[in-house]
Structure 1
Amino acid sequence: MVYSKVKDLVLKHYGDAVYVRSDAQLAREEWLIPGVKFNRWVLPVSAFFIQICCGSLYAWSGYNAPIEAAIYGMNGGVDRGMASTTFYIAVAFFGCTAAALGPWMERKGPFIGCMAGTALFFFGNLMTALGVYVNQIALVYIGYGIFGGAGLGLAYISPVSPLQKWFPEYRGLAAGFAVCGFGGGSIIAPYTQKYLIGLDYQLDVVNNVNLGVPLTFVILGAVYFVIMSLGSLVLRMPPPGYEVKGIKIDTVKGAETAHQDIVLHNSDDVTDFSTSTNKVDNPPQTDFNAHFKMTLWESIVSTEFRLMYIMFIGAQITGLMINSKIQGIVSTQFGKTGNEPVNINAILGVLNLLGRMTVPYMSDYFQNRKIFFIISCVVQFVMLGLIPYSIWNQYYGLFLFEVFTIAYFYGAGFGLIPAFLSDQFGSKNIGPTHGIILTAWAMTGVFGGLIFTAVYNSGYNSHYYALEGATKKTWNPADYKYHVYDVDFQWILAVIAVGLISASLIPNSLRDRRLPKAQGEVFRFRLGPRLVRFVGGKFVIVSKADEDKEWGAYLASVAKGQTLAAEQAFLVSSSTA
């Protein structure tokens, strides 16, 4: 009984989201401002500035030491591991809010969604300022972690959905523009935070203070509120019936060109649709998308969505952990002080931004998102595997190359995933599916961050005693310093490997997902361009010609079925009349 009610509520919430607008609202949305017609190319600019503000989240590591110094007192800048918890809480509520309110945003529209997120983020900054002022870390957790994270999650997805709908022919480019500003925020925010708070504030509050921590949150929160509010005014969904080059908002990638794949064959039970002289509709008149499109619920419970969820964890975990700890790693492991840790944090933001812009565009050119996720996992696996070697031997240049590469592909994953989801399930479902898949990132931030911190903190308690002998309860500070992250990097490597396997198994083309199974087929996969079936206990490689013939016959049968259904409907209506 309870299960049934819960299921009904979930189905109702994640059912197909319909955004209803009046004629008056549609007329208003034709204009950007009075006298200036709306043009879809202003949307990427608006999204960029909104995301710059959201991207300040990635500069949180610069707050850790100043907040702890303000609340607990100076200790030479050593990370107590208290303020950093705020980042993981914010990531958790970021993802969960995006997932829970994605359908709500689709029903209410991107303007209301973005403004609600903006207000929550502003309130979170004000509460954080109060928490630091009264020396209560719990208020920081609640303010920035819960309210701020929730606001960022809602504001983040609000520009993504309309951009995927307005640019169906450039889904990768639209996704890159929609989220690239997030990387830009991590470039600017470290410097604004540092100079507003004061240089080396955590080392000497008396002599290095400028405006201090509380006032910094108030000022930046207000600035973010103004910029995000102005950006939200531009956001809007396309009008009903909008399409570009035959691609609509609910078009599943491949459906718009399916008629081109119908081939001549000798099967007597399937009509030849290769010419326009048939009595039935020819292929271009067949609505294949009506057959292949998926509801929101069908999308989120599909096998490919589950595989994409696991893939996203593996592709993003390394960058997330590195971003949350980079300033501490640079200062404690390599002895860099002053502006150096902040500069490195900012450069990571640059690479993050470039990854979000360039890789999605390349995926448009090659018409393949999956291969870029596979490349991302492989490259990050290699780079992370080399980082301990760089730290042990103090190869700072090599370390920077490794983390910069990780940041690039970390950003690429965020730029790719909206387009990948639109390809698989149609851009009509992008808001909710994108929100739900961001919980993968959120779970990584919470559980990954907690595991990372716990392993880090336990390093000097037991593991590193063995460096000087089991009976000797002391350890070499140098050994501790250069090996403290080893175990953390090892378990993250395992997570990347699982993500790589999942990415490889995703059926990303319409043919792989919908081609009917052969008799006795258990599962299938691609070996390069060739389809491989597991049938009767053995692997069978299908020739390209046979695969094309099967697919063409299947599409022809779909077209024939639609024609017969249309004819029957016509006969029924005629007899009724």
Structure 2
Amino acid sequence: MSSITEPSGNSGSAPFFSKQATVAKPGFSRWMVPPAALAVHLCIGQAYAFSVFNGPLTKVIGITQSSADDWSLTSLGWIFSLAIVFLGLSAAFAGKWLERVGPRRTMFTAACCFGGGFLVSALGVYLHQIVLLYLGYGVIGGIGLGLGYVSPVSTLIRWFPDRRGMATGMAIMGFGGGAMIAAPLSVALMNHFRSATSIGVAETFVVLGIAYFISMTIGALAIRVPPADWKPAGWTPSTTGQNKMISRNHVHIDQALKTPQFYLIWLVLFLNVTAGIGILGQASVMIQESFKDTVTAAAAAGFVGLLSLFNMGGRFVWASASDWIGRKNTYFIFFALGAVLYYLVPGFAASGHIALFVLAYCVILTMYGGGFSTVPAYLADMFGTAFVGGIHGRLLTAWAAAGVAGPVLVNYIRAYEVAQGVAKADAYTMTVHIMAVLLVVGFICNLLIKRVDDKHHMSDAQLAKGA
């Protein structure tokens, strides 16, 4: 069921990095593709662990403590922000190029950018020029993040038309879990390279840059695309039940922007991510202020780690579940259950129910992660698979927007409440209730999503030209 049973064309004579050269040959198992995607996503997931470098980078000159010439945390904060901005920009604007050149060249380019970004940053640390860190990790590395994030997704969807959610869930779970490997690895490397004259960051950047380049290149070399019109043996697309929402037609990447479905799904992702990302960023402070004198800093750190585990697990579990219950129903659950939990959380805090408080946020974070992994399959259902990688890239602008909106809502509303004399333990009540309202709006947006009108579908001639 999972292997190629038809000829792959004349890909053997095509240039090695061309799309034609990646067409799978007879006997290739589609189950080789998820590990290739994970080889990339586990690397770029390091972005979530970049904060482990912030403290050491403030002591590059002082070594044991910050000196007057050392960088400030506010200056260093722009490195990660730039990386996320360029992740979104590269994912959005490289869509057509990705679909034209195929996943191997795109993933190898991502490897060069992400690994090379670490090397440029290492030079920046050595020369103590922060502009090189902005350029290296922020701009070049950010481009690698964006290309590496979207490039395997469309390939996985084409290999698993029967299990789209599960396939994308496996890869995007890797992005969520990459930090769990990167954080302790980075700390161990810095400790290994630390000396009387070096904080160990530059050397760590060099090792990570080389290691990530190798891993991502292995993924690029291993990736394959299925032959035209390939389907798993014995699988026939169904037109009943939830499968009525799955289109057999294709929509061009530019035409997708002319459909209401694109903007409704954009809002669905934006609202789901906004409701989770702001809380994720303030989780440690929030639980300590909600349960003052009860939750220690160490316990709060454990809470953050637990949320990360549920964030990662939710990416696979919810995306896989969407194959059975449908993408639209999956988001209905996200919005309905999320709104109820956000409404109840202040009551859990006020009554001292730490276990219920933690459980509620763990469930919310599974749906936050699940939103990322389910949306590529949702797009493939709506717009077909021909340009889903590029369409997904453009949709990720919703992530960038939510990355600003979520923290702003949480931080500024909390600050306003405290300024008005509200106790810190109660300062999050208005915020989480606003999150609940946003999720209700998301529920309505999801409700409005229907099949794409036939006028947007590509003809067979257009598909053949790739126009």
TM-score (norm 2): 0.78
Amino acid at match of 2:445: S
State the partner residue of 1:24.
Answer: 13
Q: Is residue 104–residue 223 contact of structure 2 (8 Å, CA) maintained in 1?
A: yes
State the partner residue of 2:339.
Answer: 381
- What is the aligned counterpart of 1:505 among 438, 448, 459? 448
Q: Is residue 275–residue 406 contact of structure 2 (8 Å, CA) maintained in 1?
A: no
- What is the aligned counterpart of 1:298 among 255, 265, 272? 255
**Residue 100 of structure 1: how far off its partner (Å):** 0.8
Output the CA distance in 2 between the equivalents of 1:492 and 1:195.
Answer: 38
Q: Is residue 187–residue 348 contact of structure 1 (8 Å, CA) maintained in 2?
A: no
State the partner residue of 2:153.
Answer: 160
Specify the SS of the correspondent of 1:169. coil
Output the CA distance in 2 between the equivalents of 1:186 and 1:162.
Answer: 24
Amino acid at match of 1:295: H
State the partner residue of 1:562.
Answer: none
State the partner residue of 1:362.
Answer: 321
Amino acid at match of 1:501: I
**Residue 402 of structure 1: how far off its partner (Å):** 3.0
State the partner residue of 1:267.
Answer: none
Output the CA distance in 2 between the equivalents of 1:303 and 1:293.
Answer: 16
State the partner residue of 1:178.
Answer: 171
Deviations 1:514-546 (A, max 9, x none): 69xxxxxxxxxxxxxxxxxxxxxxxxxxxxxxx
Q: Is residue 271–residue 402 contact of structure 2 (8 Å, CA) maintained in 1?
A: no
C-alpha distance 170-345 of structure 1, shift in aligned 2 (>3 A): same
**Residue 196 of structure 1: how far off its partner (Å):** 3.3
Q: How many residues align?
A: 431
Amino acid at match of 1:48: L
Q: Is residue 49–residue 179 contact of structure 2 (8 Å, CA) maintained in 1?
A: yes
> Of Structure 1 and Structure 2, which has the larger fraction of its residues in strand?
1
Amino acid at match of 1:505: L
Specify the SS of the correspondent of 1:242. coil
Q: Is residue 189–residue 204 contact of structure 2 (8 Å, CA) maintained in 1?
A: yes
Output the CA distance in 2 between the equivalents of 1:410 and 1:436.
Answer: 19
Is residue 2:173 matched to residue 1:230?
A: no
CA RMSD of aligned residues (A): 4.0
**Residue 117 of structure 1: how far off its partner (Å):** 1.0
**Residue 113 of structure 1: how far off its partner (Å):** 0.2
Deviations 1:101-158 (A, max 9, x none): 1221111110100011111111222333444455555544433232222211101111
Is residue 2:150 matched to residue 1:191?
A: no
Amino acid at match of 1:354: G
C-alpha distance 24-140 of structure 1, shift in aligned 2 (>3 A): same
- What is the aligned counterpart of 1:402 among 338, 360, 375? 360
**Residue 420 of structure 1: how far off its partner (Å):** 0.9
State the partner residue of 1:220.
Answer: 208
Amino acid at match of 1:378: A
Q: Is residue 87–residue 145 contact of structure 2 (8 Å, CA) maintained in 1?
A: yes
Point out the more displaced range, 421-430 or 490-499: 490-499
State the partner residue of 1:464.
Answer: 418
Deviations 1:14-64 (A, max 9, x none): xxxxxx9856249965678xxx95321100111122211121222234444
Is residue 2:28 matched to residue 1:38?
A: yes
Matches within 5 A, 1:359-508: 359-366=318-325, 368-387=326-345, 396-449=354-407, 459=415, 463-467=417-421, 479-480=423-424, 482=425, 489=432, 491-507=434-450
C-alpha distance 454-103 of structure 1, shift in aligned 2 (>3 A): same
Unaligned runs of 5+ in 2: 1-8, 456-467
Deviations 1:324-376 (A, max 9, x none): 444565678776446x566544433332232122222222122x101111211
Output the CA distance in 1 between the equivalents of 2:202 and 2:308.
Answer: 24
Output the CA distance in 2 between the equivalents of 1:105 and 1:144.
Answer: 22
Amino acid at match of 2:89: C
**Residue 181 of structure 1: how far off its partner (Å):** 1.2
Q: Is residue 315–residue 373 contact of structure 2 (8 Å, CA) maintained in 1?
A: yes
Amino acid at match of 1:357: F
Output the CA distance in 1 between the equivalents of 2:212 and 2:268.
Answer: 32
Q: Is residue 311–residue 369 contact of structure 2 (8 Å, CA) maintained in 1?
A: yes
Point out the more displaced range, 412-421 or 379-388: 379-388
- What is the aligned counterpart of 1:308 among 265, 284, 295? 265
Amino acid at match of 1:47: A
**Residue 502 of structure 1: how far off its partner (Å):** 0.8
C-alpha distance 465-243 of structure 1, shift in aligned 2 (>3 A): closer
Q: Is residue 266–residue 398 contact of structure 2 (8 Å, CA) maintained in 1?
A: yes
State the partner residue of 1:475.
Answer: none
Q: Is residue 118–residue 205 contact of structure 2 (8 Å, CA) maintained in 1?
A: yes
C-alpha distance 27-415 of structure 1, shift in aligned 2 (>3 A): closer
Output the CA distance in 2 between the equivalents of 1:166 and 1:438.
Answer: 22
Q: Is residue 198–residue 210 contact of structure 1 (8 Å, CA) maintained in 2?
A: no
Specify the SS of the correspondent of 1:428. coil
C-alpha distance 500-214 of structure 1, shift in aligned 2 (>3 A): farther
**Residue 245 of structure 1: how far off its partner (Å):** 6.3
Output the CA distance in 2 between the equivalents of 1:497 and 1:295.
Answer: 31
